Structure 1
Amino acid sequence: MDLIKIACVMLAVALFLGILTSGDKDEVPPVSPEIESETISSDVAGVAGTVQAEEKGEMHVPAVSRPAQDPLILEKGESKLAAERRNIESKVKATVRLLEAQGEKLFPSFREKGSPWYQDSFCIFVWNEDGTLVVCPPDPSREGKNIKELRDADGKPIGELLMETALSEKGEGWIEYNWKDKNNSEPYHKCTFVKKASSEGKTYIVGADLYLENYIVCRNLEACEYTDEPGNPQIAELLNPVSLDRNLELDCSLAHSVIEPGKNTTSHVVKTPEIHYILEGEGLLCIDGIPVEIHPDQFIYIPAGSVQTTYNTGNIALKFLIINQPARSEQSVELL
């Protein structure tokens, strides 16, 4: 992919200082014969589910809700994330059909590792209508516990939302949230699809999880560490496929750089093409002896092999993004 084309995509991302990109090249497993395939629901209601609370004598400002996306457009998604989303919906719906036909005698099969309901990172959960967990394949010790008061890492009442979504008139939907468990120091983004099932006079909630970290990379600048070497600007890598333990469909890197007032970088050669996008401050970028004045909302393409030096000529920190293709490495920079 041409570096200029990459830059056009990255510039919009730069305004948010975040990166979203698809990952995980593993093929999405087909729905097994036991869980027959069904067409994805033409509705995405419930993805941003909310619980409204009214307190006597208190006026509430309506919360800003996320707009529902056109389900017909969503069905056209060709990414592995879109395929897995459809796959999970299909499996949950097929499981509901089997549960409604055969009842609780299916529960032991749901817990059997390697079965269509429990394999790799996929498993089926079942709650009863009051929120009590009745099937939890990864951790059977949690069965019998109620999820009604369950909240995510941000305090979002996901227990209530899961129940509300499944028991609604539509009877199904997605809930997204930030989840933190004992095995991870940082919360990770997760979605759960739930659907109501009725069998033998009982009502159940059937669901399965979608782990977005397998498909999307999202980092905050404040979580990135800056280098602090004499003669060099402070640089924090926002995204570099070389340092990430996953297969990204990407061959470039993005870093955030800061040069304090009155400072400059050591003259150096970058062996790969590079683009700078200026966020704040002003300065002078010398490329093979040619001075280029730099200011906010400007991008500069720098050919591979150029000698470059950047000066902060303003009174505030000079901040900019650096895009390299291929991804920047220690071998790609030569100090002079």
Structure 2
Amino acid sequence: MKKLLKYLVLGCAALMFSAGASAADKGTADEAVAMVKKAGDFLRKHGKEKAFAEFNNPQGAFIQKDLYIFAFLANGDGVEQANGANVKLVGKNVKEMKDADGKFLIKDILAQGVGQEGKGWVDYKWPNPATGSIDAKRTYVERVDDVILGCGVYK
């Protein structure tokens, strides 16, 4: 019985530690904006091919905490050019993708990027891999030349 209690206490402590660690790994809105700005600078300096490859690199400079860069062309076709969290989406048309409430989030992201200001925030609900639940997410989008870059944070 003592052994079981010991393992139960150790297990609870491990869960509490991992929950604290994942909360510490949560990116902020300011960090998301800074990452998009950094990605834009990289894109201007190195071109699309090299930039998209780096944005898709799971060990690259554009994946930090739970933040990652994604990219679309500003032509509005909805074909994902880069996605640091899910490279399986690269090359796929995701324009019709909906969030948990049925909102066309990619259409909103593209509209924000091609809009007059070419930048701004898009809110939607998305599965949070850290919690396993559907959470509110806010993504900063900015057009750099003919590319729309984005990075989101869970609220």
TM-score by length of structure 1 reads: 0.36
Q: 1:102 to 1:182 in 2, by over 3 A?
A: closer
Q: 1:27 to 1:143 in 2, by over 3 A?
A: closer
**How high is the sequence identity, in percent, across the aligned residues?**
25
Q: 1:182 to 1:102 in 2, by over 3 A?
A: closer
Q: Answer whether contact 1:166 1:194 (CA < 8 A) is retained.
A: yes
Instruction: State the distance in 2 between where 1:110 and 1:185 align.
Output: 25
Aligned partner letter, 2:92? K
Give how far 1:101 is off.
2.7
| SS, match of residue 147 in structure 1 | coil
Instruction: State the distance in 2 between where 1:108 and 1:162 align.
Output: 21
Aligned partner letter, 1:163? L
RMSD: 2.6
User: Are residue 102 (structure 1) and residue 49 (structure 2) matched?
Assistant: no
Higher helix share: 2
In structure 2, the residue matched to 1:89 is: 33
Instruction: Within 5 Å, give how 1:123-202 maps onto structure 2.
Output: 123-129=68-74, 130-180=77-127, 186-198=133-145
Instruction: State the distance in 2 between where 1:142 and 1:25 align.
Output: 26
Instruction: State the distance in 1 between where 2:104 and 2:47 align.
Output: 29
Instruction: Within 5 Å, give how 1:1-336 maps onto structure 2.
Output: 26=24, 84-104=28-48, 105-129=50-74, 130-180=77-127, 186-198=133-145, 203-212=146-155
Number of residue pairs the alignment of both structures matches: 131
The one of the two structures with greater contact order (alpha-carbon pairs below 8 A, sep at least 6) is 2
Q: Answer whether contact 1:113 1:119 (CA < 8 A) is retained.
A: no
Q: Answer whether contact 1:180 1:187 (CA < 8 A) is retained.
A: yes
Q: Answer whether contact 2:105 2:124 (CA < 8 A) is retained.
A: yes
Instruction: State the distance in 1 between where 2:56 and 2:23 align.
Output: 27
Give how far 1:85 is off.
1.0
Structure 2 gaps, min length 5:
1-21
Q: Answer whether contact 2:25 2:66 (CA < 8 A) is retained.
A: no
In structure 1, the residue matched to 2:12 is: none
Instruction: State the distance in 1 between where 2:54 and 2:153 align.
Output: 21
Give how far 1:111 is off.
2.2
